[in-house]
Structures are given as C-alpha cells and as structure tokens.
Amino acid sequence: MYKLASREGAASTVVRVGNAAFGDGSFTMIAGPCAIESRAQIDLTAKFVASAGALMVRGGAYKPRTSPYAFQGLGEEGVKLIADACRSAGVPAVVEALAETQLLVLEWYVDMIQIGARNMQNFTLLQAAARTGKPVLLKRAPFATLDEVLYAAEYILLEGNPNVVLCERGVRGFDPQTRNLFDLGGALRLKELTHLPVIADPSHATGRASLIEPLVLAAAAAGLDGAIVEVHPEPPTALSDAAQALDFDTFAKMMRKLDVLRGAAEAKPRLAACK
C-alpha cells in the first residue's frame, strides 16, 4: 500500500509555487497555450491570463504528440521563451518533461515540472523529476486507477520531494463526442484517499472549448484545488489542441464567474451566522 501519499493521519498538503497555492482551500488557476509557439504568442498569453487572475502559466515545449508528423514543440527555445514571458508577467511557469534529459533545462528555467498522462508510470522519470526539488504536477494517465495514481505519486514522495499536485485530465471512454471522460467523482475520491492537492484539466478531458467553463465551475463547486486550462490568442491557428483552446475573452469571462462562485461559497458561513 502507498504510505506517504495516504490521507490517513496526515494534514492536507499545501503546495506553493510563487504566489500560487494548491491545497489551502483556494481554487488556483493555471492557464496558457497547449504549446509555446513564438515569443509573441507566449508573452501575450502569459500577460493576459495573469491579468485575468491566473496565478500560474502553462505551456508545452516538448509535446507528446500522437503523430510524429505533428508539431513537436520548440524544445529548449520554448522553455526560455516561457521563462521570459512569466518573468515579465510576474507568475510562475509549469512545463512538461517527456524525458530525463530535459530536466536539466526545466529545472533551471521553470518553477514546476509537469509529468504528463502518458508518462504517469515512467517511474525513473518520476524519480528524476522529484530529485530536481521542484514541485511536480502529476497527471492521471487515461488508463490509470486512483491507486495507480497514488503509487506514482509515492515514487516522487519517496525521493524526499513533498510538493506533488495531482491532476484529473479524463480517462479513456467509448464516446468520441468528448476526448476523454472527465472523472469528477474519481478526483473527489482521490481527495479522500490522499492529503495531496487535486486539480482538474477539463481541456484535455473534453477536447472542447465550450465545455471548459462549466467543468471549471463544477470542479470549484465540488471542492477541488484548482484547474489547468488551455488558452490561445487565436485558437483556430493553434499548432496543437486548437479545438479546446479558450480565447482571451472567454477565459476572462470564466474567471469572473469563478469569482462569483467563490464569493458565494465564502459568503455562505456568513449567511449561516446571521440566522
């Protein structure tokens, strides 16, 4: 059985990345493009999402594409671009590592390392990412049970790195109408099983921009610790995952609705106290 990841007898873990906190009762938004495409694209996006309330920026530099002919990401150049963009925007960056050889660059330039769904059980990569000392965003594989997610997290914790954020990004279903099945029940069960924070990725879970806002609101209402969503200055031109990217306007509107929802949640105890 996993030991270090288990909720039993443990206080909830709060993972801090710059001003962003996961697990402290807040709902923390990470936003940015699927892939870093150019200096202008990542600069503009980082600045915009930060101004709209995102506390972290995402962007892929090493992309795990199903087809080897699809855009593979800008690599090290992309990592440097997101580091510059985030420094100007005043927010930390999270970038995915596909291989151990990329960790040296990521460790130097970014604030959090993402282990993507496809690598959730790449145990040597998990251990190497843990040893960078950076917080790790660990995504659930589309085929993984919750116990398997927690065993994967245990590999990181066992290296002495306590800063792990788990992410539900959909499991493989049978209906192509959504890219994956967003398992909100599973994410909530995960929070019962572990003291680690759990966030939602409705972008990769559904593959549809129209479903991002309602699922972000559902995740926040249900008590998850945050969300990671894809945002692009011009979604139809995105080099990857165009159909699920939010434009700036839609992202800003979603953030305002989230504020209203969070405000209502915080107002509840005050209303109860008036009775």
Residue nearest to Mn ion (CB): 34
**Which residues between 222 and 261 bind ligand PEP (CB under 6 A)?**
none
Please, what is the minimum distance in Å from the beta carbon of residue 173 to Mn ion?
Answer: 18
- 149 binding partner (options Mn ion, ligand PEP, none; Cβ < 5 to 8 Å by kind): none
Among 52, 117, 231, 245, interactor with ligand PEP by CB under 6 A: 117
What string marks each residue from 222 to 251 as x (binds Mn ion by CB under 5 A) or -? Answer: -------------------x----------
Dist. CA 257–CA 264, nearest whole Å: 11
What string marks each residue from 8 to 47 as x (binds ligand PEP by CB under 6 A) or -? Answer: --------------------------x-------------
Residue 60 touching ligand PEP (CB under 6 A): yes
User: In residues, how long is the chain?
Assistant: 275
Residue 137 touching Mn ion (CB under 5 A): no
Strand partners, 21: 16
Note the helical H segments in the chain. 39-51, 76-89, 103-109, 123-131, 146-158, 184-193, 202-206, 212-222, 248-274
Crossing angle of helices 212-222/184-193, nearest 10°?
Answer: 30
Question: Is the CB of 34 or the CB of 215 nearer to Mn ion?
Answer: 34
Crossing angle of helices 76-89/39-51, nearest 10°?
Answer: 30
Q: Which amino acid is at 225?
A: D
Dist. CA 17–CA 22, nearest whole Å: 8
Question: Is the CB of 116 or the CB of 233 nearer to ligand PEP?
Answer: 116
CA distances from 8 to 146, 195, 196 (A): 16, 8, 12
Among 30, 34, 91, 93, interactor with Mn ion by CB under 5 A: 34
Question: Is the CB of 35 or the CB of 220 nearer to Mn ion?
Answer: 35
User: Hey, CA dihedral for 38, 238, 32, 108, is it positive or negative?
Assistant: negative
**Which residues between 198 and 217 bind ligand PEP (CB under 6 A)?**
201, 204
CA distances from 25 to 154, 220, 256 (A): 23, 10, 18
In the complex, the residues that contact ligand PEP under the rule CB under 6 A are: 34, 60, 64, 96, 116-118, 139, 169, 201, 204
Q: Which residues bind Mn ion (CB under 5 A)?
A: 34, 241
